[in-house]
Amino acid sequence: MHVDTLSELQICERLRSSSPAGIGLDEVPRKTYAVPQSAAVLLPLLIEQGQWHLLYIRRADNHRDRHSGEVAFPGGRVEPGDSDIPSAALREAREEIGLDPGQVRLLGNLPAFHTISGYLVTPVVGAIPWPVDLAPDPKEVAGIFSIPLGWLADPVNHRERIWPSEHHPEARPVVFFRELAGELLWGISARITLDFLRQVRVTEG
């Protein structure tokens, strides 16, 4: 099915029946961390000019952040005051980009995955109106932009490379998208994007 013909209800139904991540989302063997720290990211979906888009952030430059300057989804650790995983994702999105949780229609979750840094991350999918008022925290976010799902789903726009890492015992495949409007989507956020497209079973276009 072409991505732009999907309704919110169809996305909900496909996420509800989603299978475990099948593209190697785990960055480390699951036994590496006995008690991983829970985290959540929000995948904000929006419709612009009749096309579904995903909203991304570019992280602010920070020498203490190993993901400084990277393209990502809003998100972070689950805190004791969060009632559940979606609440954590919504809180982080409010803190990072000023997105009002009341503007988000939750559609479902993707399967959780383990990261090199010891987190168990759950991607939460939510639809937002567009345009919407946003107020990014300059300490955390350098930019906000969206990419059409049709472009993301086109296989000519992404590829895998074998990538060495000081945090990983051996080389691993890393997803890179083509640069678009000066933004480079790669790494775990790119894999989350591909897994979302796989779960909702869209075609390019």
Confidence band of 32 (pLDDT split at 50, 70, 90): low
Give the pLDDT confidence of 79-131 residue by residue, as tens digits.
999 999 999 999 999 999 999 999 999 999 999 998 877 889 999 999 999 99
- Long-range CB pairs of 80-86 (<8 Å, 24+ gap) are 85/38, 85/40, 85/109, 85/122, 85/124, 86/40, 86/124, 86/126
CA 13 to chain centre: 19
pLDDT above 70 (res 167):
no
User: pTM to 2 decimals?
Assistant: 0.89
In a domain, 164, yes or no: no
In a domain, 167, yes or no: no
In a domain, 181, yes or no: no
Q: What domain count does the chain have?
A: 1
Domain that holds residue 118: 3-156+188-199
Give the pLDDT confidence of 48-82 residue by residue, as tens digits.
999 999 999 999 987 666 667 899 999 999 999 99
Q: How far apart are CA 149 and CA 147, in angstroms?
A: 6
In a domain, 205, yes or no: no
Element (H, E) at 109: strand 105-109
For residue 76, give the nearest of 62, 56, 96 by alpha carbon: 96
In a domain, 67, yes or no: yes
In a domain, 147, yes or no: yes
In a domain, 87, yes or no: yes
In a domain, 172, yes or no: no
Q: CATH number of the domain at 94, please.
A: 3.90.79.10
Q: What percent of the chain is modeled with pLDDT above 90?
A: 70
